[in-house]
Structure 1
Amino acid sequence: MNLKIVFIAFAAALAGFLFGFDTAVISGTVALVKAQFDLSDAGIGWFVSSALVGAISGVVFSGYLSDKYGRKLMLIISGLLFFISAMGCAISGSFTELVLYRLLGGVAFGIASMVSPLYISEISPAHVRGKLVSVYQLAITAGILIAYFSNYWTSVVHQDGGMDGFVFEFLYKDEYWRGMFANEVFPVLLFLGCLLFIPQSPRWLMIHGSKEKAKQIAERYKIEYDQPVHKEEKEQMNFFQLIRGVYKRPMYIAIFLMIFSQICGINAIIYYGPTILNEAGFTLGDALGGQVTIGFVNVLFTFVAIYTIDKWGRKPLLRFGALGVILSLLMISLMFFIGGSFDSYVIVGILLFIACYAFSLGPVQFVVASEIFPTSIRGRALTISTLFLWVTNAIVGQVFPMILAGFNAPLTFLLFALVCMPGIWIIKKYIPETKGKSLEEIERFWNEKF
């Protein structure tokens, strides 16, 4: 495999790492922030989902701006926003201030969630595009795992002490949730440094008339591409054509995958993992350790997706993964319902759920959504589909603690399982296989079929 392309994909995928870290770091802070600011369940829901509201804002404008100014610039902007958010959360003087910086961080990972897989898909050879776009999801899972380690390490440092000085006292001793947020600064700086060495997408340059520069970059990095849609076609594309024209089928497929990936409850477990494990009888310290185990399984089974997605295809992974997710949710619900000594088996059900999600819905949603649209509309189309991801994510993040408190754990996870069941039929009937096809071949497929 071309090592230059691997580095470019790695650099862009670091946006996914920050996305994952920022998403998961919240889990270790929920109980601490709730106690410090005396928050209700609705207040905690807002603390968690505020970043998701910011993500919706980031997605809304990132598609248009990435189409106009380029994918690389938007990745740089997301990195700067991640930095400001991490530092701001660490030094926030009030709950309102904390939420404002969480909103800003949400804008950052809203941009990253759309632009990073889009950019990787445009620079990747067809025969390994699934693998390289899946690296983005691997980076998300790695970010989640490192955030769990970071939270656990911060809690240990808080208990043991061992360092002196104002910064340590402020971040890691008195209110150590601040240190959990501050730790994100280090990967942010790595991301911004790597972005200095990646090129613009030659496909993006082509549709903006910079054919010579696109050719030079393609030759230097051995990037394969065909002639894109003619510029006049690009200008004629509008929102209504995306949802009603030739590309309505891929548009609906992308929206379905984004919604399905969230209504299964993945981020309820990521955000509220310690809370869920507390319900099963684990202490906060044990729960944070359990989150590290969840993170390991998430990373491990994402490697399964990377290894198989360009061999088995996208559709088989989606079908088997969706079935496994539903069965795992039913198992979690049953273990909570039986209770007693069976509460400890909740973690087994959660690990099975994470494993099934990690080799299927997690990476494949981004792979399929980033490859089924033509270059000329890819940014705007991904904006719309990713917007649905974040809206659904925000709703789940907001209502989950209220559902858990108002009903109970067995009914909550049973509800997740039930709403997911129609997804298996939709995957089987409507999603085409795109394994091994160039982006231009996929575009021609839609034009010829519809």
Structure 2
Amino acid sequence: MEKSPNQRVTQYSLIAAFGGFVFGLDAANISGAVRFVSSLFELDSIQQGTVVGCALLGVIVALLFTGTLCDKFGRSRVLLGIGLTYSLSSLLSATALNYEMLIVGRFIGGVAFASITVSAMYIGEIAPAAQRGKFVSINQFMIGLGLLLAFIVNYFLVKLIGDIGWLTNDNVWRVMLGAELIANAIWVGLLLTIPESPRWLIKQGRKEEAKAVFNLIAPADQVETLSAQVEKSLEQDTKLDTLGQLKSLFSKRMRFVLFIAVSYAIVQGATGMNAVLFFAPMVFEQVGMSVEDTFMQTITTGVVGLLATLIAIGFVEKLGRRFLTVAGLVLVVVAHTSTYIGFEQANFVFSDNAVEVLSVELNQEGVDTAKIESLRGATFDNDVALKQKLKELFNKKELPIVSGPIINETIQGINAPLVLFGIFAFLAAFNLSIGPIMWVVFSEIFPNSVRSVALPVAALVQTISSWSIQQFFPWQLDNLGVASIFMLYAIIGAVGLVVMYFALPETKGKTIEDIEQEYARA
């Protein structure tokens, strides 16, 4: 049966966005693996942040030349190269013999994370204006799907430690990271079936090939109109090389568009999603959960994120980009404030019962119980003081394993319902709004003449913002405390809310060329 244009757009969009699924797998897997990697390689808090954050350094490097590669080779070929790069990263990471080798593997994986930018670019150029927001949002849905699947697998892997003879604390993370190779292989195969972006083909002067693609993804009576509209837009813009595109992007006529993109990128990256995402078990550990329970809660986060993204996809064309962004940021501020209040009164008491329970648990892990006995009767007013003391008592191999059980048994005064509401409300808010909507806005507001460079530049700003969050999150936990961190995120969200409320225009239902005429030529 012949597929309709809408069905083909859906198919091609899902394939392009499958890189988001692989990204989600990787994010969830490293969040589960970091505890075990930290113990095996005896990492401090900065090194823990680097294991996670070095991937975003790879993104930064990749984004410096992604635009040039997309212009030279096309969107679909670059996506294929990214798929192969993911495979190399998974192989190196899963077989890492030391901290340095793991960093190299994670860095290469970061280079592949540019897939999110390229797929947003590709989808934005093949999807019809009336549905572009929905299709670009598929990126975030696929990330959420990858997260959920990996969280489920990680939970069962952790449960099976000790039950399966060969699966231990020292190697479970290899299984987590190595499983990504299956998804990588599937994606590479699927990418071989998608056509090139017709807008890129027209830009290269390959007009007949572009019309052939338009015939696949648009009604027959619209093909000539679409081709002519893109040609007219490109004729009005001098064909620019990468340096020329950068000069145009930072010119006066692009000032408003660039301000919107940069502001959105900073807000989306700095409100803390990567802290919650990449360090999910560590975040739930602060509430006082067992190791197994923290992994169980990550599954809940995956479900919440996925459902929220589905809602965003359903309403992005009805409610619009602006409404979802502003409403989402309001909920972000409320959520982080709730988390702050819940954590703010927490203290830690080493009662006789807590010490006895911990002695049994730590003895099973091969830890000297005399260390925990020395804390009998001690009280710590906040998590920073507790962690400083634990650093004095336990070595780098023991600390990642013992910190969870110790917090679980000694924490008092915490308002766990407020904390959990805050975390899950934030996940919902992010995936309803600024998570998927940012990529929709990026795919729409830049003119054809600079899009190949503009999207990577905007993504670069978002990446640096996100990197700063996840690189220093373990250090912040140790030195600032979890309550202060979430208050900082709330403040950033509030500033972003004000900026987006006054600056962000509505772009739903408009063609890319219409948006260019309205905002980039003022």
Return the letter of the residue paired with 1:121.
G
Matched-pair contact (CA < 8 Å) for 2:120–2:439: yes
CA distance, structure 2, for counterparts of residue 208 and residue 29 of structure 1: 44
The answer as to whether partners of 2:304 and 2:424 remain within 8 angstroms in 1 is: yes
CA distance in 2, matches of 1:156, 1:206: 54
Distance in 1, matches of 2:80 and 2:42, equals: 37
Q: Give yes or no for the alignment of 1:250 onto 2:257.
A: yes
Match for residue 146 of structure 1?
A: 149
Q: What is the correspondence of 1:140-179 to structure 2 with a 5 Å cutoff?
A: 140-161=143-164, 169=166, 174-179=170-175
1:79 matched to 2:88: no
**Normalised by the size of structure 2, how large is the TM-score?**
0.82
Counterpart in the other structure of 1:166: none
1:298 aligns with 2:305: yes
Q: Please give the alpha-carbon distance, in whole angstroms, between the structure 2 residues aligned to 1:232 and 1:432.
A: 23
Give the C-alpha shift of residue 45 in structure 1.
1.1
Q: Using the TM superposition, give the Cα deviation of residue 173 of structure 1 relative to its aligned residue in structure 2, in angstroms.
A: 7.4
- What residue in structure 1 maps to residue 210 of structure 2? 214
Provide Cα deviations, 1:265-291, integer angstroms capped at 9, x if missing partner: 011001111111111100111001101
Q: How many Å apart are 1:433 and its aligned residue?
A: 0.4
Aligned-pair Cα RMSD in Å: 1.6
The residue type paired with residue 239 of structure 1 is L
| Distance in 1 between residues matched to 2:116 and 2:481, nearest whole Å | 32
**Equivalent residue for 2:61?**
57
**Number of matched residues?**
441
State which of 232, 235, 259 in structure 1 corresponds to 2:240.
235
SS at match of 2:415: helix
Unaligned 5+ segments in structure 1 are: 163-168
**Residue 39 of structure 1: aligned partner:** 43
Deviations 1:199-219 (A, max 9, x none): 000000001100111011111
- For residues 421 and 188 of structure 1, what CA distance do their matches in structure 2 show? 38
Q: Which range moved further: 437-446 or 289-298? A: 437-446
**Aligned residue in 2 for 1:192:** 188
Choose from 267, 278, 290 the match for 1:283. Answer: 290
Tell whether the 8 Å contact from 2:162 to 2:168 is kept in structure 1 after alignment: no
The question of whether the paired residues in 2 share the 8 Å contact of 1:161 and 1:173 is answered with no
Residue number in structure 1 paired with 2:502: 429
Alpha carbons 1:255, 1:385 under 8 Å: kept: yes
One-letter amino acid of the counterpart of residue 257, structure 1: Y
Quick check: 2:269–2:466 contact (8 Å CA) kept in 1?
A: yes
- Counterpart contact for 1:281–1:344, Cα < 8 Å: no
Unmatched 5+ stretches in structure 2: 347-412
Residue 183 of structure 1 deviates from its aligned partner by 1.0
1:103 aligned partner: 107
Structure 1 consecutive aligned stretches of length 4 or more whose deviation exceeds 3 Å: 171-174
Output the CA distance in 1 between the equivalents of 2:259 and 2:67.
17
Q: Does structure 1 residue 366 correspond to structure 2 residue 369?
A: no
Letter in 2 for 1:187: A
| Partner AA of 1:65 in structure 2 | L
SS of the equivalent of 1:310 reads helix
Equivalent in the alignment of 1:136:
139
Query: Helix, strand or coil: the match of 1:432?
Result: coil
Aligned equivalent of 1:204, options 190, 195, 200: 200
Asked if residue 68 in structure 1 is aligned to residue 64 in structure 2, the reply is: no
- Whichever structure has more helix as a proportion of its residues is 1
**Structure 1 position 126 matched with structure 2 position 129:** yes
1:348 Cα deviation (Å)? 2.0
Q: Which amino acid in the other structure matches residue 436 of structure 1?
A: G
Deviations 1:67-106 (A, max 9, x none): 1210001100110011111111111111100110000000
Moved more, 436-445 or 343-352: 343-352
1:180 aligns with 2:146: no
Deviation of 1:124 after TM superposition, in Å, equals 0.1
Instruction: Please tell me whether Structure 1 or Structure 2 has the larger radius of gyration of its CA atoms.
Output: 2
1:135 Cα shift?
A: 0.6
- CA-to-aligned-CA distance 1:386-434 (integer Å, 9 cap, x gap): 0011111111111111111102111111111112212112112111100
Cα distance, 1:174 vs structure 2? 4.9
User: Are positions 1:338 and 2:345 aligned together?
Assistant: yes
Whole-angstrom distance in 2 between the partners of 1:341 and 1:200: 54
- For 2:28 and 2:13, the matched residues in 1 are separated by 22
2:266 maps to 1:259? yes
Contact 1:86 1:184 in 2 (8 A): yes
Equivalent in the alignment of 2:319: 312
Report the counterpart of residue 165 of structure 1 in structure 2.
none
In structure 2, what residue type is equivalent to 1:373? F
Q: CA deviation at 1:26?
A: 1.0
Closer, same or farther: CA 272–241 of 1 in aligned 2, 3 Å: same
Paired residues of 1:150 and 1:183 also in contact (CA < 8 A): no
How far apart in 1 are the matches of 2:516 and 2:184? 35
**1:393 matches 2:466:** yes
Quickly say closer, same or farther: Cα 1:173–1:338, change in 2 above 3 A.
Answer: closer
Post-superposition shift, 1:231? Answer: 7.5
Q: TM-score under structure 1 normalisation?
A: 0.95
Q: Secondary structure at the match of 1:160?
A: coil
Contact kept? 1:63, 1:114, Cα under 8 Å: no
3-state SS in 2 of match to 1:309: helix
SS of equivalent to 2:104: helix
Aligned mates of 2:449, 2:73 — CA distance in 1: 13
